[in-house]
């Protein structure tokens, strides 16, 4: 059901997606959604958590204890590129960020992002400035891939290894 919701929220956003459409995609009856989730808002916010947990799991696999903070962020960034292959994930992530403009969603989206930011900081050992740049680059990549930007433009965001600095 979460995968179906990710796809549908990615296509239509929060306001444009109905639980009926999600249920149809998931091959279930709509009341089943309400048996598991309080409402559409709750389901949307769970989707955000699922996206962040997927990112964190991929990041954790990419880094090694002995890596410097710089190298950890670089490896996390490389691993992030695999997520960009999944268009449903990519579009849903952009829609979640956009939904922060929705007054009912702003605070929980921000709080979840802040927790994600802290986890990336802990995992990488990098400071807030470096983590903010890392995440800003990821969001820019999302937007560029979503609009099919030329590969040359994507290469501008490449982060060199420490020994290439």
DSSP string spanning 49-107? HHHHHHHHHHHHHH--TTS-HHHHHHHHHHHHHHHTT-HHHHHHHHHHHHHTTSTTTHH
One pLDDT digit (tens) per residue for the chain, 165 residues: 999 999 999 999 999 999 999 999 999 999 999 999 999 999 999 999 999 999 999 999 999 999 999 999 999 998 888 888 888 888 899 999 999 999 999 999 999 999 999 999 999 999 999 999 999 988 888 888 888 877 677 666 666 666 665
Residue 94 near residue 112 (C-beta atoms within 8 A): no
Question: Phi and psi dihedrals of 61, rounded to 5?
Answer: -70, -25
pLDDT (0 to 100) of residue 160: 65
- Structural tokens at position 51: 């996206």
What do you get for the CA distance between the two ends of the chain, in Å? 45
- Counts for the chain of helices (H) and strands (E), in that order: 9, 0
Cβ-Cβ contacts under 8 Å for 43 (sequence gap 6 or more): 5, 19, 22, 33, 37
């Amino acid at each position: 059901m979460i995968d179906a919701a990710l796809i549908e929220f990615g296509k239509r956003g929060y306001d444009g997606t109905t639980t009926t459409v999600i249920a149809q995609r998931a091959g279930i009856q709509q009341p089943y959604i309400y048996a598991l989730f309080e409402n559409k808002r709750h389901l949307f916010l769970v989707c955000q958590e699922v996206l962040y947990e997927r990112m964190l799991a991929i990041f954790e696999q990419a880094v090694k204890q002995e890596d410097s903070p710089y190298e950890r962020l670089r490896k996390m960034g490389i691993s992030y590129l695999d997520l960009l292959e999944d268009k449903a994930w990519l579009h849903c992530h952009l829609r979640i960020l956009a939904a922060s403009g929705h007054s009912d969603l702003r605070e929980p989206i921000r709080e979840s992002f802040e927790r994600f930011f802290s986890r990336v900081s802990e995992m990488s050992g990098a400071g807030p400035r470096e983590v903010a740049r890392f995440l800003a680059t990821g969001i820019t990549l999302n937007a560029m891939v979503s609009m099919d930007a030329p590969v040359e433009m994507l290469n501008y965001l490449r982060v060199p290894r420490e020994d290439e600095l």
